[in-house]
Amino acid sequence: MTKGLSPTVVVLDYGSGNVHSAVKALEAAGATVELTGDRARALEADGLVVPGVGAFSAVMEQLNASRSAEVIDRRLAGGRKVLGICVGMQVLFEHGVERGIDTEGLGEWPGAVTELDAPVLPHMGWNTVDAPEDSVLFAGLREERFYFVHSYAAQQWTLEATHPFPAPRVTWSEHGARFVAAVENGPLSATQFHPEKSGEAGIRLLRNWVGTLSTD
């Protein structure tokens, strides 16, 4: 890519639903964005965004049917940036358990996604997060609120840092139970909330992520 141009980002279109708001938010964050299911384009882009709405099992079925899971794995093996959003974050874990159905995830992180122990579900609306001091995604955003819509989440984090790799940065939130709200782990980042629905704070978070993309 020619130096000085904005980073290219593909929003992966694998049948997960309406993701045009994510495209618009990423454009507002300074990226050149394409919504496509084309595997070659997804591999070539500076950044790949994996959205997800609905059930864990349905999203995994769509990812596998479109061979998008293979694209995500190949990008990460090459150290190329990927951002998962909502169920697009959940499927990065080993398993998702919904209504008694245990579905195998992408297995990028250990652990399971399970139902929140909360008096009201889904968790819908604005909530604060507890981000690490050295977070890149949340730089300048530690006091902001973000928009969540979910009933399931990863409620434990067990991945340990292995030398020479830096420790993952894990951000937490709470709704009845404490859960993982975001992760920054080398080339792989993810948010349980929807940055594209989180107003200016969400655009600033996406701008922080876009700023990490290589345009060489």
196 is catalytic: yes
- Among 108, 144, 184, 196, the active-site one is 196
Q: Taking the CB of residue 33, how many other CB atoms lie within 10 A of it?
A: 24
108 is catalytic: no
Q: How buried is residue 17: exposed, middle or buried, by Cβ count under 10 Å (0-12/13-18/19+)?
A: middle
- Among 44, 61, 86, 144, the active-site one is 86
- Name the residue among 188, 115, 112 with its Cα closest to residue 157: 112
Q: Taking the CB of residue 53, how many other CB atoms lie within 10 A of it?
A: 17
86 is catalytic: yes
CA distances from 107 to 22, 132, 138 (A): 24, 24, 25
In SS3 terms, 147-171 reads as EEEECEEECCCCCCCCCCCCCCEEE
- Among 123, 150, 175, 194, the active-site one is 194
Active site residues: 86, 194, 196
